[in-house]
Structure 1
Amino acid sequence: MQVYKNAGNTKRYLNGGADHHLSLRNDDSSQNRQINRLTVIFIILMTVVFLAVGRDESNKEANLINGAKCATIFYFLLGLLIFPQGPFERPHPIVWQIVFGASLLYMLFIAYLTFLRIDQIRTIMFWIDPDVKYTKREIDVIEEYAVNCSNVTKEQLYSVLNIYAVGHFFGWIAKALLLRSYVVCWSISILWELTELFFTDIIPNFRECWWDQILVDILGFNALGIWVGMKLCKYLELRKYRWESVKNIQMGKLQRIMIKFTTLRGSSKSWLSMSSSTRRTFYLFILIVFSILVELNVFFLKHFLRFPVSHPFCLIRIIMHLVVGAPAIRELYLHMTDITSAQQLPPQVLVFITTLSLETIVSIKIGAEEFTRTQSLKIISWLLVMVITTLACLSGLVFICKLQRGKKGKCVYDSTDDSCWEEVGKSE
């Protein structure tokens, strides 16, 4: 995958936006490229005209389906000319253009759902999959959760080895491959278990015994998944992410580190400047919050729309967010750790953040009645816990970096350095 060898390359990528792959060396090549674009658009339009005029239009339902298919194909073909390629070169830039197009299309679909009632959304679900009408959620099958927690038996231990346990393990392998940091992964893992405690009034199956949350989830499948994922990062020679960007941080005592990350200095116009430690705190907070929302929206949507976690709706959404999350996290990392990067967030990051925000809006709208069961104090406490987790995560990153730096001496941590990933070579 693409390696950014200097800050200038990163700056050109992030400043280029959607047109960074269209830069040309001279006017002749630019003219040829414009001619090629017009040729492709002309061929697409002629194909659409031929298909639209030369087909039987007697079937109304077929007209709607074929029209939607044609619009989607036209959208992706035209998008290959204008969508950004993303931060990766492998397996091919076109793949990441298609990923960006798919994420943008999904975002527009979620925006459309914000204007529908829950019965209208379920009507769309029934049209896509009629069997979803007869499916049952986990809470419709299991009457009680977290009962007899003090009496641990073999039956209870076997009962936790379910689809959620498997999801924890493989999910954290994927997250470790995306985040590439033990500290960030562990912070989000612990924060998720705390998040479940705050939302048990809305999602009953968030109720778990203490030993299930701590021993089975955090110290069990989560820890194993993070370890396997990080070992895969090393085996595949993936660049290790340095979210702390400590090349501009003077190492000191832990108290001084906390003060540096929590104190706002400078004018109101410079609190998010490219060299500001507050900027790194803010973007890491975004990373942690939206990592939690990816998981939380899964439970909200399946609970309010009444389908189980094993349904393809859940699986397709999780896979889509996993694939889209790879370039989004990479773009955020480059933007966050490089002081020469553009002020604006990269396109894939903006689409990813907007999509998750819209999903949250849809969840709150269709589950407004159930959200009233949760006290406002719990929501405020949850937000406060996320802020504290972000600060603790940053402090842990810098503290570990200080220890490693003391052992290796010459190691310099910045967004382009890979020498501290043990013996692993430079690659993405």
Structure 2
Amino acid sequence: MEHFRSINEKSVDDVSLAFFYKPHTLTLLSVCVLGLLYSAFTRNDDDKDNNLWIGLCWIIFFFLVVSVLAFPNGPFTRPHPGIWRIVFGLSVLYFMVLVFLLFQNRKDVRLMIEWIFPDLKGVSPEDKEYAVNCSTMDWARFYSLFDCFAAAHLLGWFFKALLIRHHGILWTISITWEITEMAFSHLLPNFAECWWDAWVLDVLICNGLGIWLGMYVCRKLEMRNYHWESIKDIHSTTGKIRRAVLQFTPVRVVAVSLLIIVWQLSELNTFFLKQIFEVPPSHQINVWRLVLISLISAPSISIVTFTEAIICVKFGLELFKKTEVSYIVMWLSIQFVGSILCVYLCAVYARNWKWTTLEDGFFMTEAEKEEERLANKMADHIDNGTVPVLQNGTHTTAKLNGFSQSEMPYNLRNRNQKVVRNGHVH
């Protein structure tokens, strides 16, 4: 239950500007209603299309207002919980739109897209061919491939590094994505690339530079690290042995495999959606969708990804009839094998080169090291039945009434440990 609350309703620590963390419900609703009345009674309603568009915009606006007021904080609180409530509201809206589209036909969906984006009328995708004259490799051609899509590669992997924060998983996804392109190139011709374009330009240069920049920013900003549960958090010898054995059980492999496959599926949806609904790659609808997917990746990506995949299958049956089943089976097999290798090699690397002892288990920032020292100091006091407190500017200790060391929550990685203030445990 405590873990559920930390994920769905994370509290804000160290509120310095209380005004921005109070509800202000009546003020917000009053301003919204006044704006609604002004728009409803002053605008010209002769244009039917404009009426529909303005009405939809106000529906979206009020749904996001309700999101700010009623939705939970979610797992993120920076820069402000209200922003992440809006992001979660956008993800719910997008999901409902996808569900609505599931019950339409392809022609009507295309008409809806053209109504929102009139510049798409009569436009079909013009995919660039990359697997042409692969033996010709000079600096002019090499330089011509550094277009907006190369910048998108780099920027995309920068944000993926900010989300995942694990070199092993990032490089596994990067490599397996190129294999994904090869497996689906018979359905999407623009997936066919020259070997040096796929493995040198994409994987090593664009993806590699994006991963390096993202991890560099994580280190510089001392962002929260993602890693396996530390053995230092387990105090019994039996628990440590059990944890070491569980590191290599199928649960870990399946978890990483699902992460990798869902990520590949999310990327595939981008290309299949534009192919099925005949949207040019450079059109703004693709850009806005990628921005939305980037924002909702952490809170609610799974349900959106699978719903998009269902839409692709329903409206792309003619395209998927050309599927080579053997390619897909081979692709899934490679994903699982890659996941197993990822888990195994990361564990071997951590044990032999990264950790100085088995008890280290993770890399800590300076802030985390300080928290670790404080937690260990508190554990020593708990053994004596006291806890350190800061009362009236003086460091002292307070008696623990009814708490034992085994009952005190010790979850440093999730920052859920109890806080002692003014002689009381909160």
Residue of structure 2 in register with 1:13 after alignment: 6
Structure 2: runs of 5+ lacking an equivalent: 13-21, 232-238, 373-412, 415-426
Residues 76, 84 of structure 2: 8 Å contact kept: yes
- Say whether residues 1:359 and 2:308 are aligned partners: yes
Which one scores higher on RCO, CA 8 angstroms, separation ≥ 6? 1
SS of residue matched to 1:407: coil
- Say whether residues 1:223 and 2:216 are aligned partners: no
Aligned pairs for 1:1-400 within 5 A: 10=3, 12-14=5-7, 17=8, 59-139=47-127, 142=128, 144-242=129-227, 244-245=228-229, 247=231, 260-262=248-250, 278=251, 280-325=252-297, 328=298, 348-349=299-300, 352-400=301-349
Shift of 1:112: 1.2
Q: Which amino acid aligns with 1:283?
A: A
Distance 2:70 2:288 in 1: 26
CA RMSD, Structure 1 to Structure 2 (Å): 3.5
Shift of 1:405: 5.1
SS of residue matched to 2:356: helix
Shift of 1:39: 8.8
SS of residue matched to 2:249: helix
Would the alpha carbon gap of residues 39 and 156 (structure 1) be closer, same or farther in structure 2, given more than 3 Å must change? closer
Which structure has the larger Rg? Answer: 2
Structure 1: runs of 5+ lacking an equivalent: 1-7, 23-32, 263-277, 329-347
Distance 1:157 1:208 in 2: 13
Residues 125, 275 of structure 2: 8 Å contact kept: yes
SS of residue matched to 1:110: helix
Shift of 1:88: 2.0
Residues 169, 224 of structure 1: 8 Å contact kept: yes
- Say whether residues 1:418 and 2:390 are aligned partners: no
Would the alpha carbon gap of residues 155 and 135 (structure 1) be closer, same or farther in structure 2, given more than 3 Å must change? farther
Would the alpha carbon gap of residues 390 and 108 (structure 1) be closer, same or farther in structure 2, given more than 3 Å must change? same
Residues 10, 77 of structure 2: 8 Å contact kept: no
Distance 1:236 1:50 in 2: 45
Shift of 1:69: 2.2
Distance 2:246 2:191 in 1: 35
Would the alpha carbon gap of residues 20 and 241 (structure 1) be closer, same or farther in structure 2, given more than 3 Å must change? closer
Residues 281, 390 of structure 1: 8 Å contact kept: yes
TM-score of the aligned structures, taking structure 1 as reference length: 0.73
Shift of 1:188: 0.2
Would the alpha carbon gap of residues 98 and 68 (structure 1) be closer, same or farther in structure 2, given more than 3 Å must change? same
Residues 176, 338 of structure 2: 8 Å contact kept: yes
Aligned-residue sequence identity (percent) comes to 32
Residues 183, 397 of structure 1: 8 Å contact kept: yes
Shift of 1:407: 2.6
Would the alpha carbon gap of residues 229 and 83 (structure 1) be closer, same or farther in structure 2, given more than 3 Å must change? same
User: Which string of whole-angstrom CA distances, capped at 9 and with x for unpartnered residues, describes residues 234-261 of structure 1?
Assistant: 112112211x4353775999xx889x33
Shift of 1:424: 11
Residues 124, 278 of structure 2: 8 Å contact kept: yes
User: Which string of whole-angstrom CA distances, capped at 9 and with x for unpartnered residues, describes residues 149-176 of structure 1?
Assistant: 2343334323322222222212111111
Distance 1:149 1:99 in 2: 43
Shift of 1:306: 1.5
Distance 2:10 2:140 in 1: 58
Shift of 1:57: 5.4
Residues 313, 320 of structure 2: 8 Å contact kept: yes
Residue of structure 1 in register with 2:407 after alignment: none
Would the alpha carbon gap of residues 61 and 164 (structure 1) be closer, same or farther in structure 2, given more than 3 Å must change? closer
Q: Which amino acid aligns with 1:213?
A: A
Would the alpha carbon gap of residues 64 and 249 (structure 1) be closer, same or farther in structure 2, given more than 3 Å must change? farther
Would the alpha carbon gap of residues 380 and 409 (structure 1) be closer, same or farther in structure 2, given more than 3 Å must change? closer
Q: Which amino acid aligns with 2:254?
A: F
TM-score of the aligned structures, taking structure 2 as reference length: 0.73
SS of residue matched to 2:279: coil
Distance 2:153 2:77 in 1: 30
SS of residue matched to 2:224: coil
Would the alpha carbon gap of residues 184 and 44 (structure 1) be closer, same or farther in structure 2, given more than 3 Å must change? same
Which deviates further from its counterpart, 42-51 or 181-190? 42-51
- Count of equivalent residues: 358
Residues 168, 217 of structure 1: 8 Å contact kept: yes
User: Which string of whole-angstrom CA distances, capped at 9 and with x for unpartnered residues, describes residues 74-104 of structure 1?
Assistant: 2111222221212222111100000100111
Q: Which amino acid aligns with 2:270?
A: V
Q: Which amino acid aligns with 1:377?
A: S
Residues 192, 292 of structure 1: 8 Å contact kept: yes
Distance 2:63 2:249 in 1: 44
